[in-house]
């Protein structure tokens, strides 16, 4: 929801078959638990909600083992420049909000040092644009710099993005959705396309990466208990395809019946695309209350 206002029933057009949802006040819990369907509106006072569109693909990535993409393929992907360099990826949540990894902004909290590039896939084209300035950077208070637990941050932009075919918001996942291992998801970014290359990619790359169950990923031959509940794994145990340096903060998205959702944020991995060391992502569904709280307050 991006905007709401109170209106009088007599000022809006309703037909006879229209039903109302009554929201009972003063109760804890989610909106879905509080509402009741009514055939009439006794008070005559209603609330108009303006919802934000997200997760839609238009008509129409350091990622190791991936493929180059053109603008509009992942319209929520942004490049975060620190100084004059690509530093991390990020995702558009709303016109004024970008979500990224806490380890990208930690010790770099000066908002004026950052620029956000949306709607473009090559660094060549970013260099010809002004970019969007950042007003505020907020990272999770429980972020742990050594374990990378709670690796999430948001940036509020100085000016709202203009949405287009090439710039759109990604949806957040629902709070209680089972993430089944093997679900095909996608990672995108400008990170290294070869682990030893030491240079970010000129063009955005994408790669398909299936989710890996936490039990498996935390087993002794993989990450041996290093994963917390705020992390999830995606990729391949034989290696070869993975996110890498420079992809951090960027999206891991999975498509459900309705939309593309930001299931993970590129966080860490041992090396890149190595056997038994798949990519580790921030588990976004576990951090929704924090996202909603900060984007509501600031
Ligand atoms: N920490 C890295 C960054 O800052 C991302 C590492 C992701 N590694 C991986 N193997 N998936 O860009």
Nearest to 211, CA basis, from 175, 191, 187:
187
Beta bridge partners of 254: 185, 261
CA separation, residue 20 to residues 30, 35, 52, 140 (Å): 18, 10, 21, 38
Given pLDDT bands bounded at 50, 70 and 90, which one contains residue 187? Answer: very high
Please give all residues whose beta carbon lies within 6 A of any atom in ligand 1, as ranges.
191, 242-248, 266, 268-269, 272, 279
pLDDT at 60: 45
Measured CA to CA, the distance from residue 73 to residue 137 in angstroms comes to 27
> Is 13 a residue whose pLDDT tops 90?
no
Mean pLDDT along residues 223-231 = 98
Q: What is the pLDDT of residue 8?
A: 86
User: What is the chain's mean pLDDT, rounded?
Assistant: 91
Of the residues 79, 188, 248, 267, which is catalytic? 248
pLDDT digits (tens, 9 = 90+) for 111-168: 999 999 999 999 999 999 999 999 999 999 999 999 999 999 999 999 999 999 999 9
Cα diameter, the chain: 68
Residue nearest to atom 11 of ligand 1 (CA): 279
In this prediction, residues 73-101 reach a mean pLDDT of: 97
Distance 61 CA to ligand 1 centre (A): 13
**Which pLDDT score, from 0 to 100, does residue 183 have?**
96
Interval 49-76: pLDDT, tens? 767 789 986 544 457 888 899 888 999 9
pLDDT digits (tens, 9 = 90+) for 22-46: 877 666 766 667 788 888 888 888 8
Q: How many CB atoms lie within 10 A of CB 20?
A: 17
pLDDT value of residue 203: 97
Catalytic site residue from 87, 103, 123, 277 = 103
């Amino acid at each position: 929801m991006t905007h709401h206002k109170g209106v009088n029933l007599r000022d809006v057009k309703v037909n006879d078959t229209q039903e109302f949802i009554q929201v009972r006040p003063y109760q804890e819990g989610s909106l879905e638990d509080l509402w009741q369907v009514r055939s009439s509106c006794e008070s005559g006072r209603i609330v108009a909600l303006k919802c934000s569109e997200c997760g839609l693909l238009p008509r129409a990535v350091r990622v190791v083992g991936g493929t180059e993409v053109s603008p509009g393929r992942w319209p929520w992907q942004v490049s975060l420049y620190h100084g004059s360099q690509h530093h991390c990826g990020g995702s558009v949540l709303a016109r004024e909000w970008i979500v990224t990894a806490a380890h990208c902004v930690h010790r770099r909290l000066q908002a004026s040092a950052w620029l956000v590039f949306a709607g473009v896939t090559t660094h060549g084209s970013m260099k010809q644009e002004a970019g969007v300035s950042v007003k505020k950077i907020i990272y999770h208070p429980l972020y742990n710099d050594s374990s990378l637990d709670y690796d999430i941050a948001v940036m509020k932009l100085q000016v709202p993005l203009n949405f287009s075919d090439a710039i759109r918001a990604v949806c957040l996942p629902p709070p209680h959705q089972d993430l089944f291992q093997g679900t095909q998801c996608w990672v995108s970014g400008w990170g290294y396309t070869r682990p030893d290359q030491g240079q970010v990619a000129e063009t955005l790359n994408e790669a398909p990466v299936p989710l890996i169950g936490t039990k498996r990923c935390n087993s002794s031959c993989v990450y041996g208990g290093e994963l917390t509940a705020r992390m999830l794994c995606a990729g391949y145990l034989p290696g070869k395809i993975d996110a890498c340096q420079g992809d951090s903060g960027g999206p891991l998205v999975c498509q459900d019946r309705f939309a593309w959702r930001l299931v993970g944020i590129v966080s860490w991995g041992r090396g890149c695309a190595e056997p038994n060391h798949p990519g580790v992502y921030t588990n976004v569904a576990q951090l929704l209350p924090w996202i909603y709280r900060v984007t509501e307050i600031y």
